[in-house]
Structure 1
Amino acid sequence: MGRMLVTPSSAQVALARPTPDQARGWSGAAVESAAPVARVRSRGLRHPLRLPLLLFAVTLGLIALHQGRVVEYFFPLGAFGVALWFYWRSPAHYLGFVCWLFFLTPEVRRLADFVNGAFNDQSPIMIAPLLAVALTGLTLLKHVSLLGQRRAAPLVLIVIALLYAYVVGMAQVGPAAATYTLINWLYPVMVAFYLTVTWRHYPGYHRVLLKTFVYGGLLMSVYGLVEFVSPMPWDAFWLVASKMQSEGQPVPFGMRVSSTMNSCGPFAVTLMTILLMSLAARGKARILLGCVGIPALLLTSARSTWGGFAIALVYSFLMLDGKSRMRLLAGVLGLAVMAAPLMMIDQVAEPVLQRFGTMQNLGEDNSYQARAEFYKSFFSSAFTDIAGQGLGTIGLGTKLSDDKSSTARVDFDSGLMEVPFVMGWPGTLLYATGVLMLLWRAYRASRLHPTDLLAISGVGVAVAIFSMMVFINTLTSVSGMFFFLGVTLPVISLRYARERQGAAAGVSARHHKISR
Structure 2
Amino acid sequence: MENVDKFIGLTKTVLQRMVSAVGALLVIALIGILSAKTSLFQDLWQLSVVLLLTLVALFIQQVKPVVYLPYMLAVWSVYPELRRLLDWSYNSYSDTPIMALAPILVSLTMLIPIVKNFRKLTRVARGVLLTAIFVFLYGLTIGLPRFGGVAVGFDFINYLAPLLVIPYVNVGHFKSSDRDIWLRSLSSIAVIVAIYGIIQYFFIPPWDAFWMLNSEMTSIGHPEPMMVRVFSTLNSPGPAGVFFSFTLAVMVMNKKWRVLGFAGILIVAFTLLITLVRSSWIGLAAMIIVYFMQAKSQNKMKLMAVLVVLLMFYQFVLPSLPGSDAITTRFQTFGNLSEDTSYKERLAFSTQISSSITSNPLGNGLGSTGLTAKFNSQKALQDFDNGYLNIFYTFGLPGGLFLIGLLLFLLAFAFKGKKGRPEYYHLAFGTMVAVMVLLLSSNILSGVGGVCIWFLVAMIFMDPEEKVNHENLLRHP
The reply to whether TM is greater than 0.5 is yes
User: Which residue pairs with 1:23 in the alignment?
Assistant: none
1:421 aligned onto 2:421: no
- Among all aligned residue pairs of Structure 1 and Structure 2, give the percentage whose two residues are the same amino acid: 26
AA aligned to 1:206 is R
**Partner SS, residue 78 of structure 1:** helix
CA–CA distance in 1 between the matches of 2:133 and 2:197?
A: 36
1:215 aligned onto 2:188: yes
1:371/1:491 CA distance change after superposition, 3 Å: same
Question: Superposed, which structure 2 residues align to 1:10-409 within 5 Å?
Answer: 71-145=45-119, 149-198=123-172, 200-203=173-176, 205-278=178-251, 279-282=253-256, 285-345=260-320, 347-401=322-376, 406=379, 408-409=380-381
Deviations 1:51-100 (A, max 9, x none): 9xxx9xx99xx9xxx99666423321111111001122333211110001
CA–CA distance in 1 between the matches of 2:435 and 2:464?
A: 22
AA aligned to 2:460 is P
AA aligned to 1:101 is V
The CA deviation at 1:369 is: 0.6
1:363/1:346 CA distance change after superposition, 3 Å: farther
CA–CA distance in 1 between the matches of 2:117 and 2:322?
A: 54
**Partner SS, residue 259 of structure 1:** coil
1:229/1:105 CA distance change after superposition, 3 Å: same
CA–CA distance in 2 between the matches of 1:127 and 1:174?
A: 18
Work out whether residues 461 and 467 of structure 2, in 8 Å CA contact, stay in contact via their aligned partners in 1. no
User: Which residue pairs with 2:446 in the alignment?
Assistant: 476
**Partner SS, residue 364 of structure 2:** coil
The CA deviation at 1:140 is: 3.6
Alignment match of 2:462 (pick from 492, 497, 500): 492
Deviations 1:129-185 (A, max 9, x none): 111001122234223445793542132122111111110111222222211111111
148-157 or 255-264, larger mean C-alpha shift? 148-157
CA–CA distance in 1 between the matches of 2:335 and 2:395?
A: 35
Work out whether residues 268 and 297 of structure 1, in 8 Å CA contact, stay in contact via their aligned partners in 2. yes
Deviations 1:229-273 (A, max 9, x none): 111121111111211111111111101111111111111111111
Deviations 1:267-316 (A, max 9, x none): 11111111122233437613221121111111110000000000011011
In structure 1, the gaps of 5 or more residues are: 1-39, 45-50, 500-516
Deviations 1:424-477 (A, max 9, x none): 2221232222222122112222x223x453442233223212311011111111
In structure 2, the gaps of 5 or more residues are: 1-9, 15-20, 470-477
Work out whether residues 119 and 241 of structure 1, in 8 Å CA contact, stay in contact via their aligned partners in 2. yes
CA–CA distance in 1 between the matches of 2:449 and 2:157?
A: 14
TM-score by length of 2: 0.84
The CA deviation at 1:208 is: 2.9
Query: How well do the aligned residues superpose, as a CA RMSD in angstroms?
Result: 2.8
Work out whether residues 125 and 167 of structure 2, in 8 Å CA contact, stay in contact via their aligned partners in 1. no
Aligned length: 437
User: Which residue pairs with 1:47 in the alignment?
Assistant: none
Work out whether residues 389 and 421 of structure 1, in 8 Å CA contact, stay in contact via their aligned partners in 2. yes
The CA deviation at 1:109 is: 1.3
User: Which residue pairs with 2:3 in the alignment?
Assistant: none
Work out whether residues 155 and 367 of structure 2, in 8 Å CA contact, stay in contact via their aligned partners in 1. yes
CA–CA distance in 2 between the matches of 1:469 and 1:177?
A: 23
TM-score by length of 1: 0.78
The CA deviation at 1:341 is: 4.1
Work out whether residues 79 and 99 of structure 2, in 8 Å CA contact, stay in contact via their aligned partners in 1. yes
427-436 or 80-89, larger mean C-alpha shift? 427-436
User: Which residue pairs with 1:459 in the alignment?
Assistant: 429
| Greater RCO (Cα-Cα under 8 Å, separation 6 or more) | 1
CA–CA distance in 2 between the matches of 1:172 and 1:277?
A: 41
